[in-house]
Structure 1
Amino acid sequence: MLSPRLLLTGIFLLIHFLGFAQTKFELLLRSAQDSTKKEKYAGAIKILHQAKALNGKDKSYSDSVYLYLGNNYEAINKIDSSIFYYGEAVKF
């Protein structure tokens, strides 16, 4: 039988971890935005794929990742990839 203290500690750690993952997701999105503003599209795409792997809790952030990916692929003239990611963003 688990003690209440151990159970509460586990719940606290789980909540803390989920909050940390969301914060990291948001930081990655901001970093990708900064890279895009500096016209470093390949770097922004790499960062956005890392953010996509985290899958944020908030659907609007997931939508943002796909929109940013579409914008960055369009900027480097990879139109097929751009259309794909715009389509993924529309699904949300």
Structure 2
Amino acid sequence: MGPYVAAGEGEPAAERAARLRAEAPVPYAELHTHSTFSFLDGASQPEALVETAADLGLHGLALTDHDGFYGAGRRDWSAFLAAANH
């Protein structure tokens, strides 16, 4: 089973996240991510991006939306809550 299998496709999300964290050889941070605040370029809300990043064990997440910092506050608050829960 490849590392990009979506949850619900034969592997529970929690097990998938644990497997991906165990397989990660070095700390990783995604440095180019667009949220729905990038018109026609992003598909996920900032909260969903943070939740997925936390589930995958990422060490950081850069939100690089176009023309503003509109999603940054929601990303930061979500990251704070995710850190408190992990």
TM-score range, shorter chain: 0.3 to 0.5
**In terms of Rg, which structure is larger?**
1
Output the TM-score relative to the length of structure 1.
0.31
Q: Which has the higher helix share?
A: 1
Of Structure 1 and Structure 2, the greater strand share is in 2
